[in-house]
A and B are shown apart, each in its own frame.
Chain A
């Protein structure tokens, strides 16, 4: 199957996106910010639609809108963690704007718009071009590297923000920076697995890793590893079974991993608390 170029592109982009999702996701779950990630993923969808309406490059639109909202959420929240009511209301509103843009798109140009929306929502990793997949891989690798660089201070400020503050860690700035990282990952993986499904790549491998080990280093590595396994397996499954969409296969595998970890973890040691 690697004889096909589109498969190689998908694997290149997919691997790095899974690495980024797994490592960022581990922190997202630890910090209890999945809802923010979820909201950002919907924002990414609106960004894609907006890019189509204003005829800018889709990737540019995605990144601009998602990063802006991520930064805005960080600024509004108290400990750079937005309140769940505010997230809920803001993202409903942004989706409403997305709906408006879809309507504008449908009435202005005509033709092929439903496809744009569906692709943005559910991704089309097998449709990535060679250039797009290299760009995706580079950005995802940069995000992963950023997580590794801020790993220790971010971990300390997540687990004990007062101690971190006392030791001179810029807790607020880190929290805000982290939300921006989440936004970058979200915008990045929207193209691959789609705005509605990327939450699974953020939550399932990370949730499984949290249930399997309390050690942060092993947990982060495990989370990234499991995400890559789900990505590779899902891509292969979807290649083998044409009627199975790639995103569904990837998410299905990730969820299966989480379910196994949940069952095994419950029998073994108690789930971590920190």
Chain B
């Protein structure tokens, strides 16, 4: 129960098919690592790269729309730009960035030494990376995706020969997302098993940090949301390539079925994206207010409620499709319902800050920005629940404003705040606070300049996904403002990236616990050793790290405990037995640096298996039996060798 490693110390006589990789440091170790922290950083770095790509696409879109009848892009290029922007930001930036945080933090927050399935964890990363490369490779291989990130049928499902959507873009898109879905499901399963089975003694569910709670809810949502979209996209691919008629109205099929399947994934997806952000905010606010989260149980349960209700609202993306008044009523009401737990969270966050001792660090500013901007996005969401008014707003710029307030003003602000907050844990250095505050205010300005006018221009009748618009409709000025805002926003992102690089190289050393934080990850030394905790911590309370430092007097005011702690009943596991600053990276897989801790050893097979799946993906595009055979051989080899390979190689 305490950690994966204790269970699987097998004296392996079985020879591996490939010589086991040994390196746990250096460049090549990143290809074979199974350390959740390194994998987390891989996810994060890759997601930030895709953020930049998606951002460039957004800038192209905004440059095209700066003026009426823009000529920067052709219609075909514009359609690719918005399709790739959406696909990138949802599948290649938003989800992986959440998984990055989850990977790095969940084991640390629950007192585990790694995730439950370290190699599957790495497999998830490779599939994500290869899936991203696969989708982007379409640009050089006969047409990038151009059917929208939602890919409505029959536009996307018409046979290639019908010429409705020229090029193989929609094929790359469908296969790529199915592939990314495999990666998402592996990481979701891993989170669920890790959180349910690998908690340290005393870490009951209701003592878990809220971020970990939200990752658990997110993982369940991912697990159940990926199948419908996988089914839908498989049908799209078959319709395009193999003459099936799943969505062909002429043959009696109903193209609307696709929309149901897609949004049955697509709406939970929204919560898959936002719940980790809410988790981050729920971690950061208490630390910088020096108060516990207000109403822990309510914050947790409202997160779970959002997760459940998220399954009953998908048709609010379809209010203009002619569902009939009964269905419209049902989905309108269920959508309103989801505003209640969301509102509860916002009020509880304000309750957390209320009466605190607030330090305006960059991390805190971004999380306060989250609350403000997410509120705007949440309330414009309520206007969508008002079905008749949604029939005016849907598919206009009003909707773009709404979900960017939720996903950019919300999710991305929380993620950036989270990076400022956890950067010291990941690197042992602080990010530059002054530059961070500049980043925050530039981003607030750029963000609101870009997206606030979209509310208005949408209500003034400007539809989405249009590569040009005529002048004389009153849209010219707001569109110009939006474009200026987009450039301001890109300056903010640039400042952030510069901060990341500079702080990584020359940032001020942070010490183990620079923020006087509350959760277990801050009890580990910096840099965090491969095994996280030399001794598995015994948890006595919620906010365990905090209660090792502080207690409350009779009036509830904080009182600092003398060093060494009054709660000496719980093992103080911050320091390895051999003393602080034990070598972080042990030579030889499974070496515990004299602690007798056997960590899972690095492995080639996740990467090889991922490459086999990539070969399958290209085989699907080119209908190539050869590639398919290659893929099958690689996959079979990787799976077979993986099975023979012991989790931990004796040192």
Q: Please indicate whether A and B come from the same complex rather than being unrelated chains.
A: no
Q: Which residues of B line the A interface, CB within 8 A?
A: none
Q: Which residues of A line the B interface, CB within 8 A?
A: none
